[in-house]
Amino acid sequence: MTPVPGSGPFAVGDRVEARTGPIAHGGHVVARVRPARSGPDARDVVVFVRHALPGERVVIAITEVSKTFLRGDAVEVLEASPDRVEAPCALAHPDGCGGCDFQHVTLPAQRRLKAQVVAEQLRRLAGIEREVVVEAVPVAEDAPDDGLGWRTRMQYVDAPGGGPGLRKHRSHEVVAVERCLIAAPDARVAGHARSAGVVVERVLGRDFRVDADGFWQVHPQAPRILVETVLAMLSPRPGERALDLYAGVGLFSAFLAEAVGPAGGVVSVEGDRRASELAGENLAAFPQAATRHGRVDRVLAQGFGSRRALSGGAVDVVVLDPPREGAKRAVVSVVAALRPRAITYVACDPAALARDVAYFAESGYELAGLRAFDLFPMTSHVECVALLERAWPDLRRSDSR
């Protein structure tokens, strides 16, 4: 590496040349840099670099300084990776829109990088060595796999001078946006008048009522793919009892209820009151399904009493679909204590997933399956579905009843 001339420690605005290293969680690559004037005992400083790829030689503009690391943007590419392409969006550059991390990367390489991140998080946080493949998910069967036009919901902010805008990376500054290339042509805009009220989403022949500003997967194929994957992993059986935690409007609950049948039971637990109300409406056709509103950890701590859906307190299968921060130890411990035969964990954050997989391992559950889907092309985000099963038989119950 060749430091750009300067003196003293790094400051915002400094520029330094470096060879980039591996991909890091969050859409950055890792590089190591050293101040221009440093003694023989000086150590390199880690910098997390946006707009770069592993193995490139770039000029980095420092954007943030902390005690232990730096953040920066690749503002000049001296030796490019073969996976580099010209970004389709004119705003996907340093000091531009912060919405997309990987527009400068070919789609196959984006998926390889995301797979590396998932594998690295499992190795580092859960001690699991596993090969990961991130699967492509085109918008539709007849649509090009170009990573554009997939986002069905958008949330803009007001740009200077009026009009829609999006924020810069890690900033409150707003960039005016005429057209977001990853947004679907008919994307609903959160808080916009034309999005007010309740929308109806159709998944595998079933309608779901969803608040226009409430949570719903933003890739048009995501609900179907996630439902099919969860059902394939869990293989719910007639008569079984299921928990759907962080259930939203009951997407997984409805298909679980259908699978376990009238002799089974499903409890749908959701912390958002409006989503829980809609889950009740969406599950109205299933007498074997019940909804509970409240924080998942508190509802689990209270138990389910004599509710028909989980009479006796036994649970056979569990779906966890927590927010980005994950389920965390308290929820994992209670779920594991219920001794379900199988658990699926739907995760949009590989670090939170890996951490919680490690917690499940402490309670005797092992990672038995994993699929990853590219449901957020052009960004660093990836959706995973993990299957957790007991590492040893549960002699207290028989699966055959």
How large a percentage of the chain has pLDDT more than 90?
84
Query: What whole-number distance in Å separates Cα of residue 32 and Cα of residue 22?
Result: 11
Name residue 305's amino acid.
G
Residue whose entry in the numeric block shows the structure tokens 């023989």 = 40
Instruction: Tell me the pLDDT band of 213, cut-offs 50, 70 and 90.
Output: confident
Distances (CA, A) of 324 to 8, 63, 347, 349, 351: 38, 25, 7, 6, 9
Query: What whole-number distance in Å separates Cα of residue 300 and Cα of residue 206?
Result: 28
CATH of domain 134-147+198-390: 3.40.50.150
* pLDDT tens-digit map of 221-252: 999 999 999 999 999 999 999 999 999 999 99
Instruction: Tell me the pLDDT band of 212, cut-offs 50, 70 and 90.
Output: confident
Predicted local distance difference test score (pLDDT) of residue 388: 98
DSSP string covering 45-74: EEEEEES--TT-EEEEEEEEE-SSEEEEEE
Provide the b/e sequence for 329-360 (b: ≥16 CB within 10 Å): eebbbbbbebbbbbbbbbbbbbbbbbbbbbbb
pLDDT above 90 for 35 = no
Instruction: Tell me the pLDDT band of 6, cut-offs 50, 70 and 90.
Output: very low
Q: Please indicate whether the domains covering 2-84 and 134-147+198-390 agree at the CATH topology level.
A: no
Instruction: Tell me the pLDDT band of 72, cut-offs 50, 70 and 90.
Output: very high
301-318 mean pLDDT = 72
Q: What is the DSSP letter of 26?
A: T
Predicted local distance difference test score (pLDDT) of residue 400: 41
* pLDDT tens-digit map of 374-388: 999 999 999 999 999
Can you read off the two tokens belonging to residue 324?
Answer: 């980005």
Query: What whole-number distance in Å separates Cα of residue 282 and Cα of residue 214?
Result: 15
pTM for the whole structure: 0.92
Can you read off the two tokens belonging to residue 47?
Answer: 């910098």
2-84 under CATH 3.40.1670.10, yes or no = no
Predicted local distance difference test score (pLDDT) of residue 43: 83
Provide the b/e sequence for 230-245 (b: ≥16 CB within 10 Å): bbebbebbeebbbbbb
Task: Give every strand in the sheet of 289-293, ordered side by side.
Answer: 134-135, 365-373, 383-390, 342-347, 317-320, 241-245, 265-270, 289-293
What are the residue ranges spanned by the domains of the chain? 2-84, 134-147+198-390
Q: Name the active-site residue from 89, 97, 180, 348.
A: 348
Worst-scoring range by mean pLDDT, 36-40, 62-66, 85-89, 363-367? 36-40
Residue 327 has a CB neighbour count (10 Å cut-off) of 26
pLDDT above 90 for 129 = yes
341-364 mean pLDDT = 98
How large a percentage of the chain has pLDDT more than 70?
90
Query: What whole-number distance in Å separates Cα of residue 52 and Cα of residue 370?
Result: 28
348 is catalytic: yes
Greater confidence, 213 or 317? 317
> Residues 196, 157, 27, CA angle at the centre, nearest 5°?
110
pLDDT above 60 for 396 = no
Quick check: 155 and 191 in contact, CB under 8 A? Answer: yes
pLDDT, averaged across the chain: 92
Query: What whole-number distance in Å separates Cα of residue 249 and Cα of residue 265?
Result: 17
Predicted local distance difference test score (pLDDT) of residue 314: 85
Handedness of CA 360, 131, 102, 203 (dihedral sign): negative
* pLDDT tens-digit map of 273-304: 999 999 999 999 999 999 999 999 999 988 86
